[in-house]
């Protein structure tokens, strides 16, 4: 077996992958100027859209190597596709306590108590109402309540670390939890994940489904993490980082972070069609 | 004033009128990140694979394995299903995650309503199973299918695919987009019938018999 890569190796791979992504997206204007015959619509689709989400093939994240499809996904624009609708959730699917991760056990968990709140919107800025938001995270020491997490940090008998809620009429969600710890993983030697909370979000359409991770502002681990850095555009990475929000703090109780989520859709191509 | 309102669900793709008209005016979306290896105590729920109401006589079992590019089963994938009901409706119903109000635990569906939504993790052998009702055609003459999402550690962005039952193979081959795929590729979107009401659908993330994955122009 070859020696595991070092952080320096991974840093270099991330830099290469970012440079390649820039190369692929930068020539927006230039491409058009150089090849005036090319459809501007095609340029748009291939260009900035591709930068919002990480590529599925991102070599510095070693687990992606055998799990990314090599064939391009087949685009479907059927207006009747079942994926343009989605599952519904209601009062039976959550309880009030589900959104307070600090109250799932008899005692209070260790750590910095925080409120995380924000709005779920579509790309037109419309609130995504009554939809399910689920979160899971490590405890304050950076350990998941999962048998396969063997990081020698303490488990907390008063913290499991998952919650759910439904968005309200403004698309708002809110969770009370503790700030998760950073933790090591085995992507490369001395790899550390920045503290993060996993989010699973439903839109009105199955095609809007999003699973992602929220990070905390100012974390010094950001540049070293191949998962965050798999998003090759800095502005897009910034959208994964919550903002400190003093108005969300609860006096004598918890610190506050704000994080808004924008789901894909509705399909821009459809109003472009409508416009012509 | 009784203006006829479109069904809320139809609003999404059909919105017209005073909306931003260019991509530049749209809010940029929140990027996807991998589900990671530790979702297991959060996302799966009791009865997640039991879409069919208990005892429904027409229940189908659909199962399969998820494989990586080396042909090794993926033991930490998560499969989600969304589908029409047998009449072809996409209305769905709440109650997939019905809670016991006393303990706060998820206790499973009410055994009556068909929510159309299912979620199952793969087991140590990469295997998953759902019990459901046959999807109805979403519009007259259309091919019915189960919509599938695949999440896994190593997948930075989930994958969409569809399960078609083998009795719809011919209709699928006539689909203007999917029917244009080479037959061996198209075949990855078809379940195989193992016996009465038991179907198999394997998902190959990468490699020679790679499953056809789909993309929707949603933004």
DSSP labels for A189-205?
Answer: TTEEEPPEEEEEE--SS
Number of domains in chain B: 1
Cβ proximity of A264 and A123 under 8 Å: yes
Of A39-53, A100-114, A233-247, give the lowest mean pLDDT range.
A39-53
- Inside any domain, residue B10: no
Interface test with B, best of A56, A77, A99, A129 (most B CBs within 10 A): A56
- Inside any domain, residue B25: no
pLDDT for B92 beyond 60: yes
- Inside any domain, residue B20: no
Q: Which B residues, 52 through 111, put their C-beta within 8 Å of a C-beta on chain A?
A: 68-70, 72, 74, 80, 82-84, 90-99, 101, 104, 110
- Inside any domain, residue B209: no
- Inside any domain, residue B24: no
- Inside any domain, residue B9: no
The pLDDT, as a whole number, for residue A29 is: 41
- Whole-number mean pLDDT of chain A? 89
User: Which positions in chain B touch A198 (Cβ < 8 Å)?
Assistant: 33, 35-36, 39, 42
- Inside any domain, residue B11: no
Cβ proximity of B165 and B172 under 8 Å: no
Confidence of residue A276 (pLDDT cuts 50, 70, 90): very low
Distance CA A6, CA B23 (A): 40
Cβ proximity of B138 and B90 under 8 Å: yes
Neighbours of A253 (CB within 10 A): 10
What CATH number should be reported for the domain holding residue B124? 2.60.130.10
Kindly report, residue by residue over A170-193, the tens digit of the pLDDT. Answer: 999 999 999 999 999 999 999 999
Single out the residue of B24, B132, B136 nearest to residue B91, CA to CA.
Answer: B136
CATH topology of domain A88-268: Protocatechuate 3,4-Dioxygenase, subunit A (2.60.130)
Q: Which two tokens stand for residue A79?
A: 């207006």
Q: Please give the residue range of the domain that contains residue B132.
A: 31-204
Active-site entry in A103, A198, A237, A258: A198
Confidence of residue B25 (pLDDT cuts 50, 70, 90): confident
- For chain A, helix, strand, coil in percent to 5 are 30, 20, 50
Active-site entry in A164, A193, A215, A224: A193
DSSP A143: -
Cβ proximity of B33 and A197 under 8 Å: no
A240 closest CB neighbour out of B33, B99, B157: B33
CA distances for A172 relative to A126, A259, B100, B144, angstroms: 11, 10, 25, 35
The pLDDT, as a whole number, for residue A51 is: 85
The pLDDT, as a whole number, for residue B78 is: 98
Chain B residue with the nearest C-alpha to that of A79: B13
Cβ proximity of B15 and A271 under 8 Å: yes
Query: Residue A237: which H helix or E strand, with range?
Result: helix A234-238
Cβ contacts below 8 Å, chain A against chain B, sum to 302
- Inside any domain, residue B155: yes
Q: Tell me the ipTM for this assembly.
A: 0.90
Higher local confidence (pLDDT), A31 or B155? B155
Chain B residue with the nearest C-alpha to that of A212: B33
Residue spans of the domains in chain A: they are 88-268
Kindly report, residue by residue over B172-201, the tens digit of the pLDDT. Answer: 999 999 999 999 999 999 999 999 999 999
B138 closest CB neighbour out of A76, A80, A89: A80
Confidence of residue B12 (pLDDT cuts 50, 70, 90): very low
């Amino acid at each position: 077996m070859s020696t595991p890569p070092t952080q320096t190796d991974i840093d270099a791979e991330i830099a290469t992958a970012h440079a390649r992504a820039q190369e692929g997206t930068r020539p927006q204007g230039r491409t058009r100027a150089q090849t005036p015959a090319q459809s501007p619509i095609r340029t748009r689709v291939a260009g900035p859209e591709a930068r919002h989400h990480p590529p599925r093939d991102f070599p510095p994240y070693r687990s992606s190597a055998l799990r990314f499809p090599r064939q391009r996904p087949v685009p479907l624009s059927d207006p009747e596709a079942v994926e343009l609708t989605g599952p519904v959730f209601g009062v039976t699917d959550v309880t009030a306590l589900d959104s307070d991760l600090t109250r799932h056990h008899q005692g209070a968990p260790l750590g910095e108590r925080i409120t995380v709140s924000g709005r779920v919107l579509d790309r037109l800025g419309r609130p995504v109402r009554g939809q399910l938001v689920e979160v899971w995270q490590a405890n304050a020491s950076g350990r998941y309540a999962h048998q396969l997490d063997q990081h020698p940090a303490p488990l907390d008998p008063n913290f499991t670390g998952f919650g759910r809620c439904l968005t309200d009429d403004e698309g708002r969600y809110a969770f009370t939890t503790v700030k998760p710890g950073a933790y090591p993983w085995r992507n490369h030697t001395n790899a550390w994940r920045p503290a993060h909370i996993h989010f699973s979000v439903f839109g009105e359409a199955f095609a809007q489904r999003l699973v992602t991770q929220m990070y905390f502002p100012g974390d010094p681990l950001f540049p070293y993490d191949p998962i965050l850095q798999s998003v090759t555009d800095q502005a897009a990475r910034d959208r994964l980082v919550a903002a400190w929000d003093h108005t969300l703090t609860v006096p004598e109780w918890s610190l506050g972070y704000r994080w808004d989520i924008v789901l894909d859709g509705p399909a821009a191509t459809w109003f472009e069609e409508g416009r012509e | 004033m009784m203006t006829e309102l479109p069904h809320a669900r139809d609003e999404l793709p059909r919105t017209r009128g005073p909306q931003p008209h260019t991509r530049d005016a749209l809010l940029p979306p929140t990027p996807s990140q991998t589900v990671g290896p530790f979702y297991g105590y959060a996302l799966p729920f009791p009865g997640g694979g039991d879409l069919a109401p208990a005892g429904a006589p027409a229940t189908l079992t659909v199962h399969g394995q998820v494989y990586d590019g080396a042909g090794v089963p993926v033991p930490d994938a998560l499969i989600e299903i969304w589908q029409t009901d047998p009449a072809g409706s996409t209305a769905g119903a709440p109650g997939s995650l019905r809670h016991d109000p006393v303990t706060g635990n998820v206790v499973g569906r009410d055994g009556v309503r068909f929510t159309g939504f299912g979620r199952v993790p793969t087991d140590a052998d990469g295997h998953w199973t759902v019990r459901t009702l046959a999807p109805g055609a979403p519009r007259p003459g259309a091919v019915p299918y189960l919509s599938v999402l695949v999440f896994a550690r190593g997948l930075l962005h989930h994958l969409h695919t569809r399960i078609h039952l083998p009795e719809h193979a011919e209709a699928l081959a006539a689909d203007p987009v999917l029917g244009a795929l080479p037959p061996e590729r198209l075949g990855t979107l078809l379940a195989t019938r193992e016996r009465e009401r038991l179907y198999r659908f394997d998902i190959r993330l990468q490699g020679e018999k790679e499953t056809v994955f789909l993309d929707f122009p949603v933004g």
